[in-house]
Structure 1
Amino acid sequence: MALAVLAVLVAGAVLYVRGALPAAVPVAAGPFTYTPYASALDRVRPSGDLDFAGLQQDRAALEQFVASLASVSPRLRPELFPTQEDGLAYWLNAYNALVLLQLVERHPEGVSSMGFGRFYWGRAWPVGGERLTLWALEQRILDEYADPRVHFALFQGTRGGPSLDGAPYQPEFLDAQLNDASRRFMGNPRHVRLAGDTVHLARLFEAHQQDFLAALPEGRGGNVLQFVWAFLPDTCEERPGCDTRGDLDRACGPRLDRCRVTFMPEDLTLPDAAVPPPR
Structure 2
Amino acid sequence: MFGALFCLATGFSGCGYVRYLIPLNPTAKSTALPLTHAAWDGLLKKYVNDQGLVNYKALQADSLALNAYLQDVSANLPGRSWTQNDRLAYWINAYNAFTVQRIIRSYPVKSIKDLGGDKIFVNTPWDQHFIKLGDTRYSLNDLEQRIIRKNFDDNRIHVALVCAAMSCPRLRNEAFTGPRLNEQLDDQARGFVNNPAKNKLTPADKPQVSSIFNFYPKDFAKNGSTSVQNFINRYATQKIKLDASLSYVPYDWSLNVQR
Q: Could you say which TM-score interval applies, normalised by the shorter chain?
A: 0.7 to 0.9
Partner of 2:8: none
Give a deviation string over 1:254-274, Cα, whole Å, max 9, x none. xx22x3211121111111112
Give a deviation string over 1:128-176, Cα, whole Å, max 9, x none. 3332111010011101101000111001110101111111101100000
TM-score (norm 2): 0.80
Partner of 1:212: 220
- For residue 41 of structure 2, what is the amino acid of its counterpart? A
Q: Tell me, what secondary structure is at the counterpart of 2:176?
A: coil
Mean Cα displacement is larger for which, 206-215 or 187-196? 187-196
Q: Does 1:225 align with 2:222?
A: no
Query: Closer, same or farther in 2 for the Cα pair 1:114/1:17, shift >3 Å?
Result: farther
Shift of 1:11: 9.0
Q: Does 1:263 align with 2:245?
A: no
Q: How does 1:128-207 map to 2 (within 5 A)?
A: 128-143=134-149, 144-196=151-203, 197-207=205-215
Check conservation: 2:20, 2:146, Cα contact below 8 A.
Answer: no
Q: Distance in 2 between matches of 1:154 and 1:174?
A: 13
Structure 2 gaps of 5+ residues are 1-12, 29-33
Q: Distance in 2 between matches of 1:11 and 1:186?
A: 35
Shift of 1:84: 0.4
Give a deviation string over 1:189-245, Cα, whole Å, max 9, x none. 12210343311111110111101112346xxxx442111011113xxxxxxxxxx23
Give a deviation string over 1:35-69, Cα, whole Å, max 9, x none. 22112212111111111111011122111111122
Q: Does 1:53 align with 2:57?
A: yes
Partner of 1:5: none
- For residue 91 of structure 2, what is the amino acid of its counterpart? W
Query: Closer, same or farther in 2 for the Cα pair 1:224/1:56, shift >3 Å?
Result: same
Task: Find 1:38's aligned residue among 24, 31, 41.
Answer: 41
Q: Does 1:114 align with 2:115?
A: yes
Percent identical across equivalent pairs?
Answer: 28
Check conservation: 2:20, 2:141, Cα contact below 8 A.
Answer: no
Structure 1 gaps of 5+ residues are 1-8, 26-30, 234-243, 275-279
Check conservation: 2:217, 2:227, Cα contact below 8 A.
Answer: no
RMSD: 2.7
Q: Distance in 1 between matches of 2:73 and 2:183?
A: 25
Give a deviation string over 1:77-97, Cα, whole Å, max 9, x none. 324x2x101111111111110
Query: Closer, same or farther in 2 for the Cα pair 1:15/1:131, shift >3 Å?
Result: farther
Q: Distance in 2 between matches of 1:112 and 1:87?
A: 28
Count of residues paired in the alignment:
231
- For residue 124 of structure 1, what is the amino acid of its counterpart? F
Shift of 1:17: 11
Q: Distance in 2 between matches of 1:229 and 1:152?
A: 15
- For residue 84 of structure 1, what is the amino acid of its counterpart? Q
Could you list the runs of 4 or more consecutive aligned residues of structure 1 that deviate by over 2 angstroms after TM superposition? 9-20, 114-117, 194-197
